[in-house]
Structures are given as structure tokens and as C-alpha cells.
């Protein structure tokens, strides 16, 4: 289910602007890797290169390699649509489809991938909602619109939607930044459970969150505004937050800048 | 002592007196009252105008309806200047509804296609150019459409009519006796072109506003471009497209000059759209008004009242459709 990501020499552009430069790292399967860093350092851009969402932005293009186990996501003849079916994503703002019911939201990805029998679909939806710790809250109103749920519930609905298609990797772009502390806690607990099955990469502005949920942490920085972001270091989370090997990391996590 | 000097220090400068909470003018300000009056007045004025139109139509219609020697709803004849007058709207209602439905069937899919192409497929420059051309289409006066329809479209339709007759003549609906193609189908095609811009423009606006976050959600699930549009754009724009279609339908139902120029009216109902049969309310009023007596005009006004009611019903139906889907509309995202 979970695959290793090997990035080497990755550079991403918006038009002529270089957003991130020469990033190489390895993301271990069945673990949580957190990306931290100041605003504009390109951590979200980098995340979006991992499922080929970056190139959807007008002018967006990528150089370098992203190996998922041994397959290059940017190789010739690789279909970006197929990549996104393998690498799921959860966004900053909860975005369930407003025109669909809770059930249809979770089933949306499955319906794209092929035809399922109704009972089969129901089983997967139930399993996914249970996997996202949302089943008990919504089991009586599966055909109500997803937009009627609270923000935290909507975000868990989006997680259920993402894991329903059984991706290899789950990318999360600041999944808790629009949520209150209690909903945040629910999502963080969920991340702890999901890493048993998926490779998880999470971008967060909240360093405590990175310390709580991740096994490894990558620190991104940029030398000046307008300059491309780069990877400063990636290490065990514990080490990053206690004894980082680069001074800039220590300055950032101790609140001396950023 | 220190303490005594402190106590004798000059008091802090007095704070400016707080504004009193009660004022002579009470709780409202003139600006609020004027704006309230203006907006309320505009709302009431609209209702008064609608009521005045309805009252005028009803009054003038009632003068002649009692004298009608035919059945207003079922008679296939329009001799309203005679004494006693004989007139009925059956043919007009048939022609109006059928030509407008043909126009909708042709125009709505094309308009939605153009709108989606402009907003989600075309490069920005090409999309802008197409949008500009569509806007131009809306600026053409309807009499020009009528002339183009009569002098260009109709002569070029003979081939299409005989093709329809060859392959679909057995349905009777598309059977052709070989007359001039100045029939309801030609009118429907012309009306489709005329209502295309308004449906396209309104649809384009709603599709443009489809939230990026839902499109990205679909993309991230592994949706192709078409699947993104199906999951996150069309459902979001559905109520807007319905509204747009109703605006177009309203125009098609009431279109006068273009229809009067192209259609060769006849007071009969024909199963085939390719053979003469049918007129429309607006076309009939335009054609008969100049030679109508006082009584003949009242009869035409009675037919206008029916068109008014049909338009109201169509709009009500559209609103009902939109309201039923409200819970799932993109508006509460």
C-alpha cells in the first residue's frame, strides 16, 4: 500500500519565476514526514510537485525526478491523471463537493476509477469513513450534503474521500490551518492511525503539530524574498527539534525568525 | 512630603464630554431614511408596473372576449375585425411553444459548450476573442436576424429539409411536402442563434466562478479535465444555466420581428415542423396590428395576455427547479 518517495534535483517554476530549487530527499513509507518553513519557502509548491498538481497552475513546470518506489512520476509516457490516483491529496481548506451528498463525496474517486456494484461501493464508503473517524457522526445522514458538516468534519470527509481510492501516498497541505484546536486534535490522531497504511507527507505552519505527528521533519527556507526556496535539512523530528545540524533550523524553530 | 505634593498635583486634563446617547433626531439618520425610501420605492414601483400591465391586458381583453363567436382557446382562426369576431389562440400557442422549444433544444447545449470552452479549455486570448464575438451576436438587432433568416438561412435550408425528410420523414414530425422552408423549424433555428449569446454569457459567468478548490479536489482524486468539469463545474453552474436558459426562453417566446420576417404563418396545426402550420403570439400581433380595428386590437391584446401568463409560468417553473436543488447548490459552500 505505501511506497517510498525519492526526490532528486527537483526545481519548480511559475512561468519564469523559480519557486524551489534543487531539492532532493527521501520520504520513508508508512511514516509521517512534515514540511516546515516560513511562508513563501515553497513547501506547498514542493508538495504539489509530488502528485503533479503543480503543473496545473498556469505557467507551472517542474525539472528533476520524483521516484515512487522505482517509477519516475515525471518520466515520459507517465499520465498525470494516473499519478494523482496513486498519490492522494488533502487541502488547506476543507473542500467536499458542495453538490454531492456525504456518500457521493466519498465515492467520487471510486466512480472515476471504475464501476463498482452498489453494495461494494457502500462497503468501501463505510470503511473509508470509519478510517477517517467520521462514520459514527454521519452514518445516519449519508445522503445529506457534505457542506452541512462542521469544518473539522468536512476535513475528515475529505480525508475519507482521499483514502477511499487506496492511494500509495497521502499528501496534506496544512490540513488543520482552518480548524479549531479540538478538530485539529481529531485530525492529528487520525494521521497517527493512517500512517500504519499510507506514506504521509504533511505541510504545516504549526511547529508543535510537526513535532506531535511526524517521524521526520524537513525544514525549507529561502535566502531572500523573491529567491527560490530550498531544503535546508531533513532529519528525525526529534533531532530537528532538539539538536538540528544547521543553525538556520535552530533559529527558526526557536522563534528567532519566521 | 512626597505624598502631599502628589495629592496637590494638578488634576489630569478633563476628558472631552462623551457624546449623549439620546439625540433629537432619534435612532435614524437622514441618509438611512432616504436610502430606505428609495429602495423600498423602487421595489413597490416594480410591482405597480407589473400590476398595471396585467390590469391593462386583462381589461382590454375582457372587452372583446365576451363577444368572441369562436372559442378563444381552441378556434383555428383569427378574424377579430369581423362582427361578431371569431378568433382563437390555439395555433399561436402551438407555434410559440414549439418554435421556442426547438430553439432551446438547439441553443442550450451549444451555449453551455461554448461557455465551458471559453472558461475551461481555450487559452485566455482565444477565449476572450470568442467571448467578444458572442457579445457582438447579442448586439445585432432582431430585424437584421430576420432579414438574414429570410434571405440567407431559409433558401439554404431546402437541402437540410429534404435530408431530414429522407431519413426521418417516417416520424411525420420531420416530413416535408417540399414547400418553402419558412416554417416553425426554420424559426426555431433562427431563434436558437438569437438566444445563444444570452445563454452563453450568463453560463460563462457562473462557470468562471466555479471555485478552484473544488476543481483541485477533483483533480487530486485523479479526474481528467472533462471529469473535473463534470464533478466540480457543471453542478456548481447548474442553477445559473437554468436561469440563463429561462432568460433565453423568455426572449424566444416574445421575439417578434425576426419571426414575422421569416415565418409564413398559417392558421392550422401541422404535425410536421417542416410544413406550414402555426404562428406565434408576437408575430401575429405584429402582422395584424396595423390593420386591426379597435376590437381587433383588443383581441390581439388578449393574445398578448396569454403570452404574459405563459412567460410567468415558465419563470415560476424555473425558480421552483432552482429552489429544489438549493441545498446542493454551490452557494452554501
CATH number at residue A189: 3.40.50.300
Q: Would residue B10 count as lying in a domain? A: no
Does A49 reside within a domain? yes
Chain B hits for A81, Cβ within 8 Å: 222-224
Question: Among A92, A25, A84, which residue's Cα sits nearest to residue A55?
Answer: A84
pLDDT in tens, A194-230: 999 999 999 998 889 999 999 999 999 988 888 899 9
Residue B102 lies in a domain: yes
Would you mind telling me the total number of residues written for chain B in this entry? 333
Q: Quote the pLDDT of residue B178.
A: 84
Tell me how far apart the alpha carbons of residues A177 and A45 are, in angstroms, rounded to a whole number: 17
Q: Closest approach of chain B CAs to the CA of A173, in angstroms? A: 12
Nearest to A53 among B216, B235, B328 (CB): B216
Task: Provide the number of structural domains found in chain A.
Answer: 1
- Residue range A67-95, pLDDT digits in tens: 998 889 998 899 999 999 999 999 999 99
Mutate to test the interface with A, among B217, B322, B324 (most CBs of A within 10 A): B217
Q: Find all residues with CB under 8 Å of A78, minimum gap 6, and list them.
A: A71, A72
The answer on pLDDT for B326 being more than 70 is: no
- Minimum-distance CB partner of A147 among B213, B227, B332: B332
The residue-averaged pLDDT of A159-177 equals 92
Domain count, chain B: 1
Name the region of B63 (left: φ>0; alpha: ψ -120 to 50; beta: rest): alpha
- Cβ contact (<8 Å) for B216 and A95? yes
CB contact under 8 A, B217 and A147: no
* B209 Cβ contact list (under 8 Å, min separation 6): B236
Residue B90 near residue B270 (C-beta atoms within 8 A): no
| Interface with A, mutate which of B125, B221, B233, B325 (most A CBs under 10 A) | B221
Question: Which residue from B218, B221, B227 is facing A165, i.e. has the nearest CB?
Answer: B221
Cell 471510486 -> residue: A110
**Beta strand ranges found along chain A (DSSP E):** 5-14, 17-27, 32-36, 60-68, 71-72, 87-90, 169-173, 199-203, 216-222, 229-236
Per-residue pLDDT tens digits for B64-73: 999 888 899 9
Residue A108 domain-assigned (yes or no): no
For residue A53, tell me if it sits in a domain.
Answer: yes
How far is the CA of B216 from the CAs of A57, A90, A98, B144, B222, in angstroms? 10, 10, 13, 44, 10
The alpha carbon of residue B268 and the mean position of all alpha carbons in its chain are separated, in whole angstroms, by: 28
Lowest average pLDDT, out of A29-33, A169-173, A233-237, B24-28, goes to B24-28
* B333 and chain A in contact, CB less than 8 A: yes
Beta-carbon count within 10 A of A128 CB? 24
Best residue in A87, A97, A141, A143 for a mutation probing chain B (most B CBs within 10 Å): A97
Q: From residue A20, how far is each of A16, A63, A203, A220, B333 by CA, in Å?
A: 12, 10, 15, 10, 33
Could you tell me the residue range of the domain that residue A65 belongs to?
Answer: 5-97+170-253
Q: Please report, for the domain that includes residue B169, its CATH number.
A: 1.10.3720.10
DSSP state of A139: T
Q: A229 in a domain, yes or no?
A: yes
Please compute the mean of the pLDDT values over residues B244-258 and round it to a whole number: 92
Q: How many CB pairs under 8 A join A and B?
A: 78
A28/A2 Cα distance (integer angstroms): 9
Residue in chain A closest to B329 (alpha carbons) equals A99
Q: Quick check: A156 pLDDT over 80? A: yes
**Closest by Cα among B284, B290, B251 to B265:** B284
The pLDDT assigned to B331 comes to: 46
CA–CA separation, B200 and B269 (whole Å): 32
Domain-located, residue B128: yes
pLDDT above 80 (res A165): yes
Percent of chain B with pLDDT over 70: 92
Judged by a CB distance cut-off of 8 A, whether residue B220 touches chain A is yes
pLDDT tens digits for range A230-253: 999 999 999 999 989 999 999 998
- Residue B52 burial (C-beta neighbours within 10 Å; 0-12, 13-18, 19+): exposed
Nearest neighbour of B224 by CB, restricted to A56, A81, A108: A81
Q: Do residues A2 and A198 make contact, with C-beta atoms less than 8 angstroms apart?
A: yes
Q: Using a CB-CB distance cutoff of 8 angstroms, which residues of chain A are in contact with residue B227?
A: 112
Confidence label for A146 from pLDDT (cuts 50, 70 and 90): confident
What residue has cell string 363577444? B67
Q: Is residue B240 part of a domain?
A: yes
pLDDT band at residue B175, thresholds of 50, 70 and 90? confident
Compute the distance between CA of residue A202 and CA of residue B41 in angstroms, rounded to an integer.
56
Contact B173, B161 (CB under 8 A): no
CB contact, 8 Å: B238 with chain A?
A: yes
pTM value?
Answer: 0.82
Q: Is pLDDT at B1 greater than 60 in this prediction? A: no
Q: A108 and B231: CB-CB below 8 Å?
A: yes
In a domain, B277, yes or no: yes
The minimum CA-CA distance between A41 and chain B, rounded to whole Å, is 22
The answer to whether residue A43 sits within a structural domain is yes
For chain A, give the percent of residues with pLDDT over 70: 99
Dihedral over Cα of A179, A181, A182, A186: its sign: positive
Mean pLDDT of all residues in B32-51? 94
**Parallel, antiparallel, or unpaired for β A32-36 and A216-222?**
parallel
Which residue bears the cell 502528485? A51
- Mean pLDDT within B97-104: 95
Tell me the pLDDT of chain B averaged across its residues: 88
Asked whether the predicted pLDDT for residue A258 surpasses 80, the reply is no
The winner for highest mean pLDDT among A93-97, A179-183, B178-182 is A93-97
pLDDT range class, residue B155, cuts 50, 70, 90: very high
Report CB contact under 8 Å: A145, B327: yes
pLDDT at B148 over 50: yes
Question: Which residues of chain A neighbour B329 with C-beta distances below 8 Å?
Answer: 98-99
Most confident of A180-189, B39-48, B72-81: B39-48
On whether residue A158 sits in a domain, the answer given is no
Using the CB atoms, write b or e for A102-111: b if 16+ within 10 Å. bbbbbbbbbe
Return the HEC string of chain B. Answer: CHHHHHHHCCCCCCCCCCCCCCCCCCCCCHHHHHHHHHHHHHHHHHHHHHHHHHHHHHHHHHHHHCCCCCCCCCCCCEECCCCCCEECCHHHHHHHHHHHHHHHHHHHHHHHHHHHHHHHHCCHHHHHHHHHHHHHHHHCCHHHHHHHHHHHHHHHHHHHHHHHHHHHHHHCCCCCCCCCCCCHHHHHHHHHHHHHHHHHHHHHHHHHCCCHHHHHHHHHCCCCHHHHHHHHHHHHHHHHHHHHHHHHHHHHHHCCHHHHHHCCCECCCCCCCCCCCECCHHHHHHHHHCCCCHHHHHHHHHHHHHHHHHHHHHHHHHHHHHHHCHHHCHHHC
Q: Which chain B residues touch A147 with a CB distance below 8 Å?
A: 332-333
Mean pLDDT within B294-298: 93
Q: Is 60 exceeded by the pLDDT of residue B102?
A: yes
Which residue, chain included where needed, has cell 516560513? A38
In a mutational test of the B interface, the residue from A73, A79, A95, A167 whose CB has the highest number of chain B CBs within 10 Å is A95
Say yes or no for a CB contact (<8 Å) between B222 and A113. Answer: yes
The cell numbers describing B244, all together, are 440563463
Cell of B87: 378568433
ipTM over 0.85: yes
The parent domain of residue B283 ranges over: 90-293
pLDDT of residue B278: 85
Say which residue the cell 441553443 belongs to: B107
> What residue of A is the nearest CA neighbor of B325?
A99
Of B220, B224, B231, the CB nearest to A97: B231
What is the distance between the alpha carbons of residues A63 and A58, in angstroms, rounded to a whole number?
16
CA–CA separation, B186 and B274 (whole Å): 8
Torsion of CA B105, B108, B113, B114, to 10 degrees: 120
B26 has pLDDT over 70: no
Give dist(CA B72, CA B90) in Å, integer: 8
pLDDT of residue A26: 93
Determine the residue among A88, A99, A163, A173 to mutate to test chain B binding: the one whose Cβ has the most chain B Cβ atoms within 10 Å.
Answer: A99
Tell me the pLDDT of chain A averaged across its residues.
Answer: 91
Is B218 in CB contact (< 8 Å) with chain A? yes
Q: How far is A84 from chain B (nearest CA, A)?
A: 5
What is the reported pLDDT for B259?
A: 94
More confident site: B198 or B3: B198
Q: Is residue B231 part of a domain?
A: yes
- Taking Cα atoms as reference points, which of A147, A137, A142, A99 lies closest to residue A122? A142
Q: Which helix (H) or strand (E) holds A147?
A: none
- Confidence bin at A24 (pLDDT 50/70/90): very high
Do residue A97 and residue B235 have CB atoms under 8 angstroms apart? yes
CB contact under 8 A, A53 and B219: yes
Give the Cα separation of A235 and A256 in Å (integer): 20
* Residues A138-166, mean pLDDT to the nearest whole number: 92
B212 to chain A, minimum CA–CA distance in Å? 10
Q: Is residue B219 scored above 90 in pLDDT?
A: yes
- A140 pLDDT band, cuts 50/70/90, is very high
Which of A225 and B300 is assigned the larger pLDDT?
B300
Nearest to B275 by CA among B176, B194, B185: B176
| Mean pLDDT value across residues A159-163 | 93
Examine residue A80 and state whether it is found in any structural domain, yes or no. yes
pLDDT digits over B273-284, tens only?
A: 888 888 999 999
Asked if residue B226 has pLDDT above 70, the reply is yes
Q: What distance in Å separates the CA atoms of residue A157 and residue A133, rounded to the nearest whole number? A: 9
The reply to whether B307 falls in a domain is: no
Phi, psi at B67, each rounded to 5°? -90, -10
Check B236 against A82: CB less than 8 A apart.
Answer: no
Contact yes or no for B172/B192 (Cβ under 8 A): no
Q: What percent of chain B has pLDDT over 90?
A: 64
Amino acid at each position: 500500500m505505501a511506497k517510498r518517495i525519492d526526490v532528486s534535483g527537483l526545481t519548480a517554476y511559475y512561468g519564469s519565476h523559480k519557486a524551489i530549487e534543487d531539492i532532493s530527499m527521501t520520504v520513508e513509507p508508512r511514516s509521517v514526514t512534515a514540511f516546515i518553513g516560513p511562508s513563501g519557502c515553497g513547501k506547498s509548491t514542493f508538495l504539489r510537485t509530488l502528485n503533479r498538481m503543480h503543473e496545473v497552475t498556469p505557467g507551472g513546470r517542474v525539472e528533476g525526478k520524483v521516484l515512487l518506489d522505482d517509477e519516475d512520476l515525471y518520466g515520459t509516457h507517465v499520465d498525470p491523471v494516473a499519478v494523482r490516483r496513486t498519490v492522494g491529496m488533502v487541502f488547506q481548506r476543507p473542500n467536499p463537493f458542495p453538490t454531492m451528498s456525504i456518500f457521493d463525496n466519498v465515492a467520487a474517486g471510486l466512480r472515476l476509477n471504475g464501476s463498482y456494484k452498489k453494495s461494494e461501493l457502500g462497503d468501501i464508503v463505510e470503511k473509508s469513513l470509519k478510517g477517517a473517524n467520521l462514520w459514527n457522526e454521519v452514518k445516519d445522514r449519508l445522503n445529506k450534503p457534505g457542506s452541512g458538516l462542521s469544518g473539522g468534519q468536512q476535513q475528515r470527509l475529505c480525508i475519507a474521500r482521499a483514502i477511499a481510492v487506496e492511494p500509495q501516498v497521502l499528501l496534506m497541505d496544512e490540513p488543520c490551518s482552518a480548524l479549531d484546536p479540538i478538530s485539529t486534535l481529531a485530525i492529528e490522531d487520525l494521521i497517527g492511525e493512517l500512517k500504519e497504511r499510507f506514506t504521509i507527507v504533511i505541510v504545516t505552519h504549526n511547529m508543535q503539530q510537526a513535532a506531535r505527528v511526524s517521524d521526520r521533519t524537513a525544514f525549507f527556507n529561502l535566502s531572500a524574498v523573491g529567491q527560490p526556496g530550498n531544503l535546508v535539512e531533513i532529519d528525525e523530528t526529534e533531532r530537528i527539534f532538539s539538536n538540528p545540524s544547521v543553525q538556520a533550523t535552530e533559529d527558526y524553530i526557536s522563534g528567532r525568525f519566521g | 512630603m512626597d505624598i502631599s505634593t502628589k495629592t496637590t498635583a494638578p488634576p489630569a486634563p478633563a476628558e472631552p464630554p462623551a457624546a449623549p446617547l439620546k439625540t433629537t433626531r432619534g435612532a435614524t439618520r437622514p441618509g438611512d431614511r432616504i436610502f430606505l425610501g428609495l429602495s423600498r420605492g423602487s421595489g413597490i414601483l416594480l410591482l405597480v408596473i407589473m400590476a398595471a400591465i396585467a390590469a391593462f391586458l386583462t381589461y382590454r381583453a375582457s372587452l372583446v372576449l365576451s363577444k368572441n363567436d369562436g372559442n378563444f382557446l381552441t378556434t383555428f382562426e383569427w378574424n377579430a375585425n369581423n362582427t361578431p369576431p371569431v378568433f382563437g389562440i390555439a395555433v399561436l400557442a402551438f407555434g410559440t411553444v414549439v418554435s421556442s422549444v426547438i430553439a432551446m433544444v438547439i441553443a442550450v447545449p451549444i451555449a453551455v459548450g461554448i461557455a465551458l470552452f471559453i472558461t475551461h479549455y481555450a487559452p485566455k486570448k482565444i477565449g476572450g476573442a470568442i467571448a467578444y464575438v458572442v457579445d457582438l451576436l447579442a448586439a445585432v438587432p432582431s430585424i437584421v436576424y430576420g432579414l438574414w433568416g429570410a434571405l440567407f438561412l431559409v433558401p439554404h435550408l431546402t437541402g437540410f429539409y429534404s435530408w431530414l425528410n429522407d431519413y426521418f420523414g417516417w416520424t411525420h414530425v420531420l416530413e416535408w411536402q417540399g414547400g418553402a422552408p419558412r416554417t416553425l423549424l426554420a424559426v426555431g433555428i433562427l431563434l436558437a442563434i438569437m438566444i445563444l449569446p444570452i445563454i452563453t454569457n450568463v453560463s460563462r459567468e457562473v462557470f468562471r466562478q466555479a471555485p478552484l478548490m473544488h476543481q483541485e479536489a477533483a483533480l487530486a482524486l485523479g479526474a481528467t479535465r472533462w471529469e473535473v468539469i463534470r464533478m466540480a463545474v457543471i453542478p456548481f453552474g447548474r442553477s445559473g444555466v437554468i436561469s440563463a436558459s429561462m432568460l433565453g426562453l423568455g426572449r424566444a417566446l416574445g421575439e417578434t420581428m425576426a419571426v414575422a420576417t421569416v415565418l409564413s404563418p398559417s392558421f392550422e396545426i401541422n404535425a410536421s415542423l417542416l410544413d406550414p402550420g402555426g404562428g406565434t403570439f408576437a408575430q401575429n400581433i405584429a402582422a395584424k396590428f396595423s390593420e386591426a380595428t379597435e376590437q381587433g386590437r383588443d383581441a390581439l391584446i388578449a393574445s398578448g395576455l396569454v403570452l404574459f401568463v405563459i412567460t410567468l409560468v415558465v419563470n415560476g417553473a424555473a425558480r421552483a427547479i432552482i429552489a429544489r436543488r438549493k441545498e446542493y447548490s454551490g452557494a452554501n459552500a
